[in-house]
């Protein structure tokens, strides 16, 4: 059954787009059975992942960013998140993104999980998800990047995730992990 996929060889790899930190690659693959396939995908930087932070106040309100997301043509809520910079640890990247996007920092971060976006269309790379209840104001959020930040009760956010109203993947996964792990 899996014989075809026991050996996959890249016959050719072509970079077909490389602008604004986005690269699209087309690979010509040959499978063990001799069949060939063109695979087009977004390629991230090698060994550079991303982070997301589920940050809470003492009264269980989560801080969410609200940003314009052009592929959807609308404003969307999501977690403070972003790419790691080469040489950063995931914790350092998470604290940097939290501060850049919200103006807050955290005394302590707890790693709660990881995921990858669309492994058939993007790669390599994972998103490391962190949790904190030790928020403190440090500065101001970056208005060039974020339209607004909002503190919303976790029960309301969880309900909106379960109803399909909030669809950002990092937010959905973090809410489910927090719920299953009983962190609040």
The pLDDT value given to residue 94: 98
**Using CA atoms, how far apart are residues 169 and 161, in angstroms rounded to an integer?**
10
Of the candidates 182, 21, 154, the one whose C-alpha atom is nearest the C-alpha of residue 79 is 154
DSSP string, 40-66: EEEE--TT--EEEEEEB-TTSEEEEEE
SS3 call for 129: strand
Q: 21 pLDDT exceeds 60?
A: yes
Question: What is the value of pTM for the model shown?
Answer: 0.86
Q: What is the pLDDT of residues 124-134, one digit of tens each?
A: 779 999 999 99
Q: What is the pLDDT of residues 78-108, one digit of tens each?
A: 999 999 998 999 999 999 999 999 999 999 9
CA–CA–CA angle 81, 75, 171 (5° rounding): 35
DSSP code, position 86: T
How far is the first Cα of the chain from the last one, in angstroms, to the nearest whole number? Answer: 44
Domain 50-181, CATH: 3.90.79.10
The residue with tokens 């991230």 is: 44
What number is the average pLDDT over the span 58-69?
Answer: 95
- The domain ranges of the chain are 3-43, 50-181
What number is the average pLDDT over the span 59-79?
Answer: 93
Q: 74 pLDDT exceeds 60?
A: yes
pLDDT bracket for residue 141 (50, 70, 90): confident
pLDDT bracket for residue 119 (50, 70, 90): confident
Q: What are phi and psi of 9, to 5 degrees?
A: -115, 135
* Averaged pLDDT score across all residues of the chain: 91
The pLDDT value given to residue 117: 80
Q: What is the pLDDT of residues 146-167, one digit of tens each?
A: 779 999 999 999 999 999 999 9
- Sign of the alpha-carbon dihedral angle for 113, 60, 83, 23: positive
pLDDT bracket for residue 5 (50, 70, 90): confident
The pLDDT value given to residue 178: 98
Q: 7 pLDDT exceeds 80?
A: yes
**Using CA atoms, how far apart are residues 146 and 144, in angstroms rounded to an integer?**
6
């Amino acid at each position: 059954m899996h014989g075809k996929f026991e050996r996959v060889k890249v016959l050719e790899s072509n970079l077909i787009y490389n602008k604004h930190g986005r690269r699209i690659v087309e690979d010509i693959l040959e499978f063990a059975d001799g069949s060939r396939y063109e695979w087009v995908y977004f390629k991230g930087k090698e060994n550079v992942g991303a982070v997301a932070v589920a940050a809470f106040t003492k009264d269980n309100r989560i801080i969410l960013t609200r940003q314009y997301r052009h592929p959807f043509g609308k404003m969307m809520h999501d977690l403070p998140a972003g790419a790691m910079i080469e040489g950063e640890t995931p914790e350092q990247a998470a604290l940097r993104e939290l501060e850049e996007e919200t103006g807050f920092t955290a005394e302590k971060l707890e790693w709660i999980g990881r995921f990858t976006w669309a492994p058939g269309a993007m790669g390599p790379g994972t998103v490391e998800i962190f949790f904190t209840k030790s928020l403190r104001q440090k500065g101001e959020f970056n208005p060039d990047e974020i339209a607004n930040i909002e503190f919303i009760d976790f029960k309301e956010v969880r309900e909106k995730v379960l109803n399909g109203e909030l669809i950002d993947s990092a937010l959905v996964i973090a809410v489910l992990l927090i719920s299953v792990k009983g962190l609040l």
